[in-house]
Amino acid sequence: MSILGTRVVRSEDPKLLTAGGTYADDLREPALNGALYATYVRSPMAHARITGIDVSAALESPGVVAVYTGADCDLDPAPPAPEGALGGKPHPSMARPFLAKDVVRFVGEPVALVLTEKRAQGEDAIELVAVDYDPLPAVIDLDDALSGTNLVFPEAGSNVVGVGGADAADAQFADCEAVVTATLENQRVAAAPLEVRSAAAAWGDDGRVTVWLSTQNAQGARDALQGALGLDEGKVRIITPDVGGGFGAKIGIDPEGTALAWASKRVGRPLRWTESRTENMLAMTHGRAQRHKITIGGDRDGRVKAYRIEVVQDLGAYPGVASFLPALTMLMASGVYDIASVTSQATIVVTNKMVVAAYRGAGRPEATAAIERAMDLFAAEVGMDPADVRRKNFIKPDAFPYTTPGGAMYDTGEYEKALDAVLESAGYAQLREEQARRRAAGETLQLGLGLSTYVEITAPDFSVGEDAKVEVHDDGTATIYTGSSPHGQGHLTAFGMLVQDKLGIPLEKIKLVHGDTDQVPKGGGTMGSRSLQLGGSAVYRAAEDVLEKGRKLAAELIEIDEGDLVLDKEAGRFHVAGQTGTGVSWGELAAAAREQGGLAADCHFAEDLPTFPFGTHLAVAEVDVETGQSRLLRHITVDDAGTILNPVLTEGQRHGGIAQGAAQALFEVMYYDPDGNPQTANFADYAIPAASELPSFELLSQETPTTLNPLGAKGIGEAGTIGSTPAVQNAVVDAVAHLGVRHIDMPTTPQRVWQAINEG
C-alpha cells in the first residue's frame, strides 16, 4: 500500500513542540562570536527632506561602536521594478536607498544604523541620533496620487508609474438588461509573521560573507545580495534557519539585511539584527492595497454577459513587486465564470506609505474579491439567489482546458460540483429559511450567508522550475536536498513521503536539507504555492532516478538481469523475484556506489503551464444590527488542489489560509492618517484574530488532478485565503442587505457595519 494520500503526522513537529525551533535570533554560531547588535534609526515622517544628521551624542553613548548614515553608505540604491511592469518604466529617481540620504518617503524608512555591544544599548543610542527634517507634503490617498498635485518623486513628474490593459468600453454593456457599478477597496494589510525579520552577517578572511537570514528564498537572497554588494559569484552564502512565517513578505532579502552585510564589512565584526514588532508593522512589506472599480452586466435571468475591472494599485514609496500584482489580478479577472466580454485596466502609483509586495495570493485574491462581490451585487440587482447566479455562469467541465478572456489557460475544473457539495453540507436551504425567519421577526442578531467560488493560479513561475537531489547513504538513510524553502509547510514530511513511496526508506530515516546556498546552490524558494507541484515533483523524479540506479547496481552485485529483481519496500532491499533470501539493501548499494560518486540523483523539474486550483467557500455570519458587531459562525469549504499527498498537511494549509482571509474581511487593515502616520503599528491596534474569534472550519474533500506534473497536484498554500475573504465579506453584507445595505468595504468593522445600516 502506498503512503501517498494517507494521514501521516508531521515529522517536523516533535522538535518544534519540545526543543523548539532555531531561528535567526537564536543562532550561536562560532562565526558570530563577538557580534555587535544593529539597530536602525527610522524616519518618524512620511515625507521630508533630511537637512542634517548629528550622530556625535550617539557615538558617546555606552556600548556604541559605530553609527552609519546614508552619506556613509556607498551602495548603489536598489533599482525600481523592472521595465515593462504594466507597460511603464519607473523613473531612475525611484530607486530605493539602503539608508535614506536626502529624502525620506515613508514612516519607518531607515535613516541610520547604530552598532552596539549589547542589544539594549542600541535602543538607547538611536534616540540620540539627531535628524533634522524639513517636512514635505505627503501623498497618502490614491486620488491625491493620481492627481499629481504633490509628488513622491518630483524628478519623475508624476506619481503614476504605469498603466496597462484596455480602455473603458461602454459598448460591452450595451445589450445588458441590468448593469451594476461599484467601487471596492481591497485594503492594505500587514503580513505580520510570528517571527519578525531577523538576520546575522559575518565576513571571512577570504572576502566571503555568510548571512543567516529569515527568508523564503535563500538562493534569490544570495543573488540579490551579491549584486548589491558588487561581489563575484561564490562570495555570498545564505543560510536559512527555521523561519516563523513569511506569507510573501520574506521573499529574498530586504534593504535592512543588505545594509547589515555592508556594515559588517565596514566595521570588521559580525553583526546581528532582529527588529521589533512595531518596526515589522511599519517597515516590512505590506500586502493588497488595491482599489477596484467594477462594472458587471447581463440579463435578468441571471446570465452575466460583460464584466470590467479597473484597478489602482498603491505601490507604496518605491516601485517593487507590487508593480506586477495588477497583472495577475487582470489575468484572473473573470474567475470561474464564462463571460463573453471581459476587459480590465490597471494603474500603478507611488505614495508615501510602506512598500507593497507579495502577500498570500499576490494579485489573485484581489481578483477573486472583486468578481465575487460583483456576482453578489448582480444577483441582488436581478433578484436571484447568489448561488443560482453563480451556477448559471460557471465554466462547464467539458470546456477544459479553457482559455479565459484574460489569457489564462485553466487546466481542470469542477466548479458546480464544488458549489453543490458545500451547499448540501451546509444545509443551505435551511439556512436561508432561518435567515428569513429572523428578518420577519426583526431580531437583533441577523444571519448572513456569503458565497465565493474561486479559481487561482499556482506556480505562476512554472517555467523557472525547482531543483532537488536525493542521496542514499551506506547506513540506509537518505537525504533530500531541495531548493524549496519551508517555513511551516511541512516539507520534510511531504518530500519524505515521496521518497519513502519510491524507495521504501522509512520517513524517520530521511533528512531534509534546504536553505543553505552552499549545499543547495540552485533553487526557486517557496512562494506562489509552488512547493509540491514543482519542488515535490523534482524530488519524486530524483527518487525515480535513484530507484533505477539502485536497481541496475543491485543487478550487477547479484549478477542477475534487472528484470528479475523486485524492490521490497517493507524491508528496504532488492531481491530476486520469488527468492527473498537473495538480495541487497539500500545501505549496501550506497556503500558499493561510494567509489562511483555515491548513490544519488539530481533533478530540475519545470511545468509547461501553471495549474489552477479552485473551490467554493460558504461563510455563515451573524450581525448585531444594534452595534454592528459581526461574528463568523460557520465556514464550509471545498478547496480542490488536485491529488492530495497528505490530508494532514493540506488541512493545515487550508485552516491557516481561511483564518488569514477571514481576518482581512473582518478585522485587519494598515491604516494611515492624512499625514502618513501609521495608526495600526502594533498588535494592540492591528486586529489579528485569536481562535476565539473564529469557528472550527468545515473542510470538504474534492480532488481534480492536473496532468501537468507527475503528482497530479496543484498548490494549496494560498487557496484558503483567496476563497475565504469575499465569502466572509459577502456574508456580513448579506446579513443586513434587507435593511438597504448594498456594500460594506473591508474590514467590516462594527463601526462600518453600523454606519451602513444607518445610511441604508
* Same domain for 361 and 389: yes
401 prior amide bond cis, ω within 30 = yes
pLDDT band at 412 (very low <50, low <70, confident <90, very high): very high
454 φ, ψ (degrees, to nearest 5): -125, 160
* Same domain for 401 and 473: no
* Same domain for 667 and 643: yes
Q: Say if 223 falls within a structural domain.
A: no
pLDDT greater than 80 at residue 289? yes
pLDDT greater than 90 at residue 81? no
Instruction: State the pLDDT at residue 581.
Output: 81
pLDDT band at 543 (very low <50, low <70, confident <90, very high): very high
Q: Say if 379 falls within a structural domain.
A: yes
pLDDT greater than 80 at residue 84? no
Instruction: State the pLDDT at residue 9.
Output: 97
* Same domain for 735 and 704: yes
* Same domain for 488 and 619: no
* Same domain for 485 and 374: no
Burial 58-80 (b: 16+ CB within 10 A, else e): beebebbbbbbbbebbebebbbb
* Same domain for 410 and 298: yes
Convert the pLDDT of each residue in 182-204 to its tens digit: 999 999 999 999 999 999 999 99
- How many other β-carbons are positioned within 10 Å of the β-carbon of residue 132? 11
Convert the pLDDT of each residue in 608-642 to its tens digit: 999 999 999 999 999 999 999 999 999 999 999 99
Domain boundary among 544, 573, 605: 605
- The residue-averaged pLDDT of 595-603 equals 94
* Same domain for 533 and 451: no
Contact assessment for residue 473 and residue 550, using Cβ atoms and an 8 Å cutoff:
no
* Same domain for 425 and 518: no
pLDDT greater than 90 at residue 497? yes
Instruction: State the pLDDT at residue 145.
Output: 98
pLDDT band at 85 (very low <50, low <70, confident <90, very high): confident
- The residue-averaged pLDDT of 126-140 equals 98
> What average pLDDT does the chain have?
96
Q: Say if 49 falls within a structural domain.
A: no
Percent of the chain, pLDDT > 70? 100
* Same domain for 600 and 618: no
Q: Say if 312 falls within a structural domain.
A: yes
271: buried, middle or exposed (CB in 10 Å: 19+, 13-18, 0-12)?
buried
Q: Say if 180 falls within a structural domain.
A: no
Pairing of strands 209-213, 160-165: unpaired
Instruction: State the pLDDT at residue 661.
Output: 98
pLDDT greater than 80 at residue 68? yes
Q: Say if 108 falls within a structural domain.
A: no
- The residue-averaged pLDDT of 719-740 equals 98
Nearest to 348 by CA among 162, 509, 493: 162
pLDDT band at 246 (very low <50, low <70, confident <90, very high): very high
* Same domain for 438 and 372: yes
Q: Say if 218 falls within a structural domain.
A: no
Domain boundary among 571, 605, 639: 605
Percent of the chain, pLDDT > 90? 96
pLDDT band at 151 (very low <50, low <70, confident <90, very high): very high
Q: Say if 699 falls within a structural domain.
A: yes
Nearest to 209 by CA among 260, 245, 250, 173: 260
- The residue-averaged pLDDT of 381-391 equals 98
* Same domain for 546 and 450: no
pLDDT greater than 80 at residue 83? no
- The residue-averaged pLDDT of 590-613 equals 95
Convert the pLDDT of each residue in 679-692 to its tens digit: 999 999 999 999 99
Task: Write out the residue range of the structural domain in which residue 396 sits.
Answer: 286-459+610-759
Note the maximum CA span of the chain: 86
**What is residue 560's DSSP assignment?**
S
Give the count of domains, the chain.
2
pLDDT band at 1 (very low <50, low <70, confident <90, very high): confident
pLDDT band at 88 (very low <50, low <70, confident <90, very high): confident
CATH of the domain at 554: 3.30.365.10
Domain boundary among 572, 605, 638: 605
pLDDT greater than 80 at residue 169? no
